[in-house]
Every structure is written in C-alpha cells, then in structure tokens.
Amino acid sequence: MKLVTNARLAGRDGLHDIEIDGDRFGRVAPAGELAGTQPAGAPDGPGDAPGGPADPADGPAGASGVLVDAAGGLVSPPFVEPHVHLDTTLTAGEPRWNASGSLWEGIAVWSERKADLTRDDVASRATEVLRWYAANGVLHVRSHVDVTDPGLVALDAMLEVRERVKDVIGLQLVAFPQEGICSFENGPELLEEAARRGVDAVGAIPHFEDTREDGVRSLEIAFDIAQRYGLLLDAHCDEIDDEQSRFVEVLATLARRGGLRDRATASHTTAMGSYNGAYSYKLQRILARSGINLVCNPLANLCLQGRFDAYPKRRGLTQVKEMLAAGVNVAFGHDDVMDPWFPLGTASSLQVALVGIAAAQLTGAAEIDEAFAMVTDRAARVLGLGDGYGIAPGRPANLVVLPASSPYDAVRRQTRPSHVVARGRIVAETPPAVTRLTWPGRDPEDVDFVRTRDR
Ligand SMILES: [Zn+2]
C-alpha cells in the first residue's frame, strides 16, 4: 500500500491522502487520517508504511510508503485526449508544407506522404508523441487512423502500438476513412476490415463525400458496422465553413434511434459556427435528446477554418457554450501534433484548454473550470471510460499532481504535472520551473507567476 499525501482535490475542502493498492486506488481521507501519513513538509519517518514497505519496483517511494507528497498541489485524474491523429503526427513539412493552410490542401499533402508509409514509420512517430502525452499527464488517448489505404499499413502499426503502450496509456483507435466511404474505392470494405482487425470505434467523414446523399449513406454504413461489431462511433462531421453542411443532425438521429447514444461522437462540427439562430435552436434539442458527444479541436480548427473568408473571418468552431448550456457533453481535443493540418503542439491538454477558453470565450470562473473538465472528465465520457476513470476506491490508480491551487491556476500558468502516476507507478516527474529575476536595485527574487495576494 502506498500513499499520495496532502492532495488538493476538486470539489473537496482541505487536503486529502489517497491510498494506492497495487494498480488501484484505495481509500481517500482527510490528510493525516490514514495510518502512517504526515503533514506536508514533515520529514519521512522510516517504517511507518500502513501496508508494509513500498515495493521498490513500483517507483521511488520512500520507506514511509509515501509515493508522492503533493504538498498541497492539485491532484486530478489524468488528462484525456479525445481526438488526435497519431498516424499523421510529426510529419509537418513532408513532403511539402501546407501552403494555403486549408483542410483540403492538408488532405492532399497527406495523400502524397501516405504513399511512403511503412509500419515502422507510423509506429515510431506515434510512440514518440505518446511519450509526450504521458509526460504531460495524458493517460487516455483516442486516435483516429486513416483507413483509406488498401494496405491498411497505418492501422496495423497502430494496433501494435496500442498493445505496446497499454501499461501507461489506454489508447483507443478509430477507423477513420480520410478520403470518404462512398467516394473512395472499396471504402465500405476497408472500414469493415478495420473493424474486423480490432479498432475500438468506427469513423466517417460525411462532409467530404461527393454528394449530400453519399454523406448520409456513409453515416448509415458507419453506424451499421459499429452496431454489428459492438463498437463506438466517432465521425469527423461538418468540418467545413458551409452552413449547408448539416450531417450532425443525421448522426445524432441515427445514434438515438439505433440506441448508440453517448457511445457516438461528432468531432469538429465546425459548420455549427456558421448556422443561423433558428437552426441552431432546433439542433440543440436534437443533440441534447440524442445523448451524443461533441469534440471541439480549437488549435487546428482556428487555423484551418475561415481560410476562404474575407474580413471579418469567422472562428469556425462548434458552438461550445451553447451546446454545454443545452446539456450536451462537449470536450476539447488537440487533433494534430505537427502535421499537414497543424504544425505546432507538444501534446499538452492544458495548452488545448487555454486556447479553447480564448476561442470559445469561456472566461467566467465556472467556465474556466468547465474547460479543465473538457480535457479531463468530459473527455473521459467521450471515450466511455466509466468506472475506469476517476480518483475513487477500486478504480485504476491514474492521476496527475499539478503544482497549482486550482484548475484555473493550472490552466493560467500552464503548469506541467510534477508527477504523473499510471497504474500505481510514477511514470513522469517534472521539477518546478522557477525564474530568477534580478531587477536593478533589488535583491534577486524567484518568479513563479503566482499573484502575491493569492499565496
Ligand atoms: Zn480530426
């Protein structure tokens, strides 16, 4: 038995200690109430572990059984990435830069790069970014994988990666028909073959299909495969600045009538940023009744959308505030890390939350907390993690320790986790970053960007 001590937990007053029994959480109690714990800052005493000495193989726990002293920092369930493309990651500039910056040129550039794809190429780039995710405390990741490739090279590579990282990161794979289902040769067969090979979810891209009817048909095919194979569904939906692109109403209705409901997700839905008020109002009811999730990807879509606009240029994002208010579950995703659609990124959920706050104008105190939930709890709901997520007895012992006083503080100061615990083991540690300021005429001082009166 080991302990994470002196943890600040969202929604609870005071500090708490958290038991970790193997790879599961045990009890959570006010600091000092569990046997063998000590207040923050006290030296570790030998031999006072509640369940015997820590297993050295389980991380650098001291003799006291304290795995991590959170020292009053915010302890949160890990970050969750609800939407990324790991097969395309780290390819920005290959074979050429996306000069127009549009989604469509991105697809064309990727189509050229795809011709050179090998299993090792995909696996090594995806694994590198998954290590960045783990370092940032992101321990659940949903990745789309392009299956419009007759060889399914990327899919086989990602299935292998999913197995290789499972002790640290829970990786979900979505069969993503990048170039369409009905508009690509053997599209339906490739999608079904991906389901057979073991993906977790089925995707679609209705706004990319040649006709409106093909778009609707492509969603029907995706739902049919998801239901026959017992899989989740996550479609790229209405990722275009065209107010006529209205496939999310089709997706939501198929999810409600077929019973998939919160096991279905519409990603991007950027056309919602162009819908008129009357249609938006109608859509809120359709989405709320259906129970589907929405994933907004602010980093990529702020860059990709509005490319064909003169000024004023639209934001090109889904209706985050309005859909949250209507009771729809909305999460924030990264989408792309250094690829033809978005050239930047370090796989940081806090960076996504910060940009999401600015992009969706979530500046109220409760809205900032909501933005943190959109990269933790709400994203976990998108992945359908259920009892596999959260700090509570019996659940997998996954958490992050943030050197911050609140979710607001963590987002504002972009604090990297001091510790990341996966399945009961410390997998990442980041020493606090402190800047020494030497102002002429004053003694040197350390600056950590905490407001003096908040200390
Ligand atoms: Zn995407």
Given this chain, do its domains 2-77+393-435 and 79-388 carry the same CATH topology?
A: no
Q: How far is the CA of 332 from the centre of ligand 1 (A)?
A: 12
- Tell me the domain boundaries of the chain: 2-77+393-435, 79-388
pLDDT digits (tens, 9 = 90+) for 347-394: 999 999 999 999 999 999 999 999 999 999 999 999 999 999 999 999
* CATH architecture entry for 2-77+393-435: Roll (2.30)
| Residue 56 identity | P
Percent of the residues in the chain that have a pLDDT greater than 70, as a whole number:
93
What torsion, rounded to 10 degrees, do the Cα atoms 120, 118, 333, 244 define? Answer: -170
Specify the CATH number of the domain 79-388: 3.20.20.140
- Is the pLDDT assigned to residue 51 strictly greater than 60? no
Q: How far is the CA of 267 from the centre of ligand 1 (A)?
A: 7
- Is the pLDDT assigned to residue 411 strictly greater than 50? yes
pLDDT digits (tens, 9 = 90+) for 137-166: 999 999 999 999 999 999 999 999 999 999
Average pLDDT of the chain is 93
Q: How far is the CA of 146 from the centre of ligand 1 (A)?
A: 10
pLDDT digits (tens, 9 = 90+) for 62-96: 445 999 999 999 999 999 999 999 999 999 999 99
Q: How far is the CA of 280 from the centre of ligand 1 (A)?
A: 23
Q: How far is the CA of 234 from the centre of ligand 1 (A)?
A: 10
pLDDT digits (tens, 9 = 90+) for 241-263: 999 999 999 999 999 999 999 99
Q: How far is the CA of 145 from the centre of ligand 1 (A)?
A: 10
- Catalytic annotation on 189? no
Q: Which of 163, 239, 367, 445 is catalytic?
A: 239
Q: How far is the CA of 349 from the centre of ligand 1 (A)?
A: 16
Q: How far is the CA of 205 from the centre of ligand 1 (A)?
A: 10
- Is the pLDDT assigned to residue 50 strictly greater than 50? no
Position 39 confidence tier, pLDDT thresholds 50, 70, 90: low
Q: What is the per-residue pLDDT for 455? A: 83
